[in-house]
Structures are given as C-alpha cells and as structure tokens.
Structure 1
Amino acid sequence: MPRLVPLPDDFRSRPFSTREARARGVSLGRLRSADLLKPFPAVREVRTPTPSIDTACASYGERMPPSQSFSHATAARLHGLPLPRRVQAAGVIEVSVELPGQCPRVVGVRGHRVTAGSVRTVLVRGFRVAAPVDTWCQLASVLSLDELIVVGDALVRRQSPPATLPELRAAVADFAGHRGAKKLREALIWVRAGVDSPRETELRLLLVRAGLPEPEINGIIRNRLGVKIATGDIVYRRYKVLVEYDGGQHRTDEEQYHWDVDRLDAIMAEGWRVIRINKSHLRTRNRAVFKVEKALTSAGWVHGRE
C-alpha cells in the first residue's frame, strides 16, 4: 500500500474545507483517501474512533452561513446539558435558520426555521449556539416531561447556573403557541433551583409524587454549634431526615468513600437519620419510597398533614 502524503499539521486536529486544502497543496487524490471522513460536501476531517460533538459542529461550521446557529439537541450538548441517550445517539446536527431563510438540505443535518429575533444566540467555544434557556424551550418538542424537568433543573443548578428561575418563567411565557408549550409550562412547575445532578431530580420527583413532603434541595446541615458539617442532597429538616444519592464515584474513589463515612458520621451524631439511595433503588421505585417514608414516619410525619 503506498504511503499517504502527510497533511498540514493543523488539519489533523480540525475539519477543513476542500477549497482550503487545495489552496495549501493537497491533491484531489489525497482528499479521496480512506483516512479522511466526508461529513458534509466539500468538508474533510481525519478519521477518529469517537468523533466529539465539537468535531461534528466544527465540520459543519466549515460551510455554515452566518444566518444559521446550532440549536435543539445539538445546542444542549454544546452547553453540556443532560440529555437522554436516545437523543444524544441520534447522530444528527441540528441548526436553526431565521425566516425567510431556507433550511439546509444536507445529509446529517436537521434544519429548523425560526422567526427572526425569536432565538438568542451565544458563542460556545467559537460556535454560534442558541442560548441555554432558548435551547430548553426548543427541546420541549422532543423530550418527555421528566426529561424537560431534568434539563430545567440543570439550568438553575447549584454551581455556576446558566440561568435563573425568573429567566425560565419569562422564556416559557414567550414560548406560548409553539409546539411543546403546554409540556414546558408543566415542567416549569416542577423545576427547582440548587440541584446538582439528574439523579437528584429523579429522586425528588419520585418522592414528592408518592405523596411525601417537598424536600429542601442541597440544604446546609450544621452541628449544634452552628458549624456547617454537610450539604445534603435531599433534606427534610423538620424531621431531621437526610436522603443521599450514592453515585458510582462514592464506591470507586477511595478518598471520596472515606470522606463520605466521616461526613455521615458527623451528621448522625447530630441526631439525623440518613437514608442512602443508589441506582438499584431507583430501578425498584417502591423500595426507595418505602425507605424514606419509613424514616419520616418514625420521626413523626403523618401522611396528608403537611
């Protein structure tokens, strides 16, 4: 097999147009080589085992006109918002184009036409992308109610939130009349600020929908001297019941494991009951509800009186 002619160094780390390649001395034969992908017409990129969303967007960006921006699920992935696997694995780049522009007719790209000025855009790693709150509204047509709540919680999360609850409310009001608007309004009712992970959202929804009290999310727990000893995932302060979701890192990270043990010992020393929930409990949902309900009842909670 003949040895391939080396490409310019910067072509190995980014997509490039065939026009640029020809201008820099790359032959037509080299552009047809099997080690190069052809994600879009007149665009090439070096074949890699697992192309990232950034790589895919950069490939389309080589031919993307200024009137278009990345939107919907593609925007959500660029913003780092949590999406279900079925949406992430769709393998389609989604873009929006303002009217009267026409949607792109390119394999691997799904276009959406939007009213001029109706979608705000921001720059994310150099890409024109629908703003986080507008992205959430766009997802209302493809996500389930609970999936929308998860994304809404992520927008107003505890650390570095991209949005505020008032911004979500304003966006939902502006979205009236669009596909998914009713579902979006219902999702907003369930969104809570201060959540750290999709699992926390899932657990909170499970407990509240089962008739348990509305918990405090990531509440600060202090000892009798007023010193902070923990931030609890789901806190029932009145009953001194703490519900913690144990993710994989709690088992695989030895330092995290030892820190958790000391932290939970300090909480229990202050008279708190700690309920630990993991993925298996969420698969058998009645089990998770039973564990928490039993702890609350033991602490004096009576169903229907709060």
Structure 2
Amino acid sequence: MRNYDEEARTAHFQEAARRAVGDLRSGIRYIDGTTAVGRAQLLSVRERILATAANAHGRPVVTGVSASILHGTNWFDPFFDVELIHDLSGSTWKGAGRTVRRYQLAPSDVTDIDGVLVTTRVRTAFDVGRIPPAWRGLGNLDALHRAAPFSILALIRYIDDHRGWRYIRQLRAIAPLVDGAAESPPESWLRLLLIQSGLPLPELQIVVVDETGHGFARVDMGYRGPKIAIEYDGEEFHSLAEHQDRDARRDAKLEALGWVAVRVDAERLFDRPWTILTEIEHLLHERGAY
C-alpha cells in the first residue's frame, strides 16, 4: 500500500485556499477540480469513480485498480487515483486524484458498468497484474478473481498476444497462480512467498472437521496430509480480545486433532519472512513431508 502523499495534498489545499472562495451558498464542492458534488455529500469509492468518469471529457474508459473496484474488488489502496483512458484524439487533462492516458483500446476490451465504460475483467486483470512487485500483482489478481471470476486461460492468451508490455514477465509468471479462494491480498503475498521459496503449493481455505464430521474451522492455507495450518492474522480481525479467545479455542481443538498452526502477521511477513519459511519447512520434515 502506498503512503498518503501529504506534501502533494498540502500544496493542493494551499492553492485552493488562495483561490477566490466564490459563493459558499452554492452547495457544491469539486472532488477532482472539475467534478461537482453536493458540498455535504460523502461519496463511496464506487460513487467517486463513476462521478469522475461521467464528468470527464468525451467517453473515457475506467481502467486499472479503478476498474477492478467497479468489477467488485473490495481490497485496494485507499489513496488510489481514478485511472482513465481516452482514445488517441481524447484529452489527457489531469485532476487531483485522477490519472488520464491516451491509448486506443480494442472494442473487445471494453464493457459498460452503470453507464460508464470500463475495461473487461480480463483486460483489467492484465493491467492490475502488472503492478509491481509480483506479490502486489498477485494480490490484485486474486482479489479481482474472487469478486469477478475471469478465465485464467483467457488471461494467458491475452498475455501471449501482448508481448513486450511493461512488467509482462511478472504477469506471465504469476497468472497461473491466481486463485480467487484467497480472502485478502496478504494471503496471496504469503502464498507467493511459499511458492518462490520452493516449498510445496499450499491448499487454500481448508475446512477441518471434528470426530463427528462437523466442519468447525477453516484455515487460510496449509497442508492437509501433515496437518499444517498456515494462518494470516490481519490486525483488523484478530486484535480484539474476543477474537483472540475464539482463535485460542479453535487452535486448541485443531491441536487435539493433530494439527499445528503457523501464525503470520504483517510484521513477520514483511520484516522476517525467512522465519515463516524455516518454521514451515521444519514442520513438513518433522511430519514426513518433503
């Protein structure tokens, strides 16, 4: 996730303060310099994208992360720019929080969502999967596939037809790994770490049953045979005391059935990833899996 560009936004607000205030009774504010909305109106992220695209000159196509959001993706950087593509004769006028490029998309790459032109699922996957680094690209692809399933084979064919594009090697490498079962980008990043390290491909969203056949737990990923559960603990879901108590009871039941849990948080994933790999490899060997 990129940081909030405080310096750029400070300059924007300083410039706004220098401009004539105008009629404050108009009840209008401008979210990107030109798109007018009610002064008291709070927009959802989807409403912001639709309003920006509808107000732009001509009929631009929403692309990139913005297109992924319109297709239903819930995981994204909150400080993203609305990305628009105009045809070769279109305007590239930029605004605050808006990026505009000129490129001639094929008609087959464009669809309509709520009256706004948007790149198709496959074309959107092609764009967001090329965002570096590879772990971010895979997280984008998994999130899009979970929200709006697309054909992996169609994506691979599209990649083959667009050789030479920027970061195409990254996309070609991660496209076969796309799995909509991943419930968050960090789970995708963790899975890619395991694969790149040479560890076996983990199974996702494993349902664990008790002695009665009742499914009492679902682990993020792991290895069913040696009973190794690998869990990503997002702070928003696991920091509350009641969640920690629930996790402890669940882990105790897993342990009673012979399972062992490897817990990963953001600090460990990004600052000490080798400790995750050595722990998992040790457990695999200890339990007779290589």
Coarse TM-score class (shorter-chain normalised): 0.7 to 0.9
Q: Which residue identity is paired with 1:288?
A: I
- Asked if 1:150 is matched to 2:142, the reply is no
- Asked if 1:286 is matched to 2:279, the reply is no
**For residues 224 and 31 of structure 2, what CA distance do their matches in structure 1 show?**
57
Q: CA 1:139/1:215 → structure 2, altered by over 3 Å: closer, same or farther?
A: closer
Equivalent of 2:37 in 27, 37, 45:
45
C-alpha contact (below 8 Å) 2:62/2:85 kept by paired residues: yes
CA root-mean-square deviation: 3.3
> By how many angstroms is 1:201 displaced?
1.2
C-alpha contact (below 8 Å) 1:165/1:193 kept by paired residues: no
- Asked if 1:71 is matched to 2:63, the reply is yes
Aligned length: 266
In the alignment, what sits opposite 2:286? 298
**Mind listing any 5+ residue stretches in structure 2 that lack a counterpart?**
1-20
**Mind listing any 5+ residue stretches in structure 1 that lack a counterpart?**
1-27
- Asked if 1:30 is matched to 2:30, the reply is no
The Cα offsets for residues 72-120 of structure 1, whole Å up to 9 and x where unpaired, read as 232234443544x5xx535x4321234x542433444412312331412
**For residues 37 and 226 of structure 1, what CA distance do their matches in structure 2 show?**
57
Q: Which residue identity is paired with 2:272?
A: T
In the alignment, what sits opposite 1:181? 168
> By how many angstroms is 1:289 displaced?
1.6
The Cα offsets for residues 1-55 of structure 1, whole Å up to 9 and x where unpaired, read as xxxxxxxxxxxxxxxxxxxxxxxxxxx95379797337344x4334569865445
Q: Which residue identity is paired with 1:133?
A: V
Q: Percent identity?
A: 23
The Cα offsets for residues 165-195 of structure 1, whole Å up to 9 and x where unpaired, read as 3343344344445443332211213323421
- Asked if 1:102 is matched to 2:90, the reply is yes
Q: CA 1:188/1:287 → structure 2, altered by over 3 Å: closer, same or farther?
A: same
Q: Which residue identity is paired with 1:233?
A: D
Matches within 5 A, 1:225-264: 225-264=212-251
> By how many angstroms is 1:245 displaced?
1.4
Equivalent of 1:271 in 254, 258, 268:
258
Please tell me whether Structure 1 or Structure 2 has the larger radius of gyration of its CA atoms: 1
Q: CA 1:166/1:221 → structure 2, altered by over 3 Å: closer, same or farther?
A: farther
**For residues 96 and 44 of structure 1, what CA distance do their matches in structure 2 show?**
21
**For residues 132 and 102 of structure 2, what CA distance do their matches in structure 1 show?**
17
Describe the SS at the equivalent of 1:156: helix
Describe the SS at the equivalent of 2:229: strand
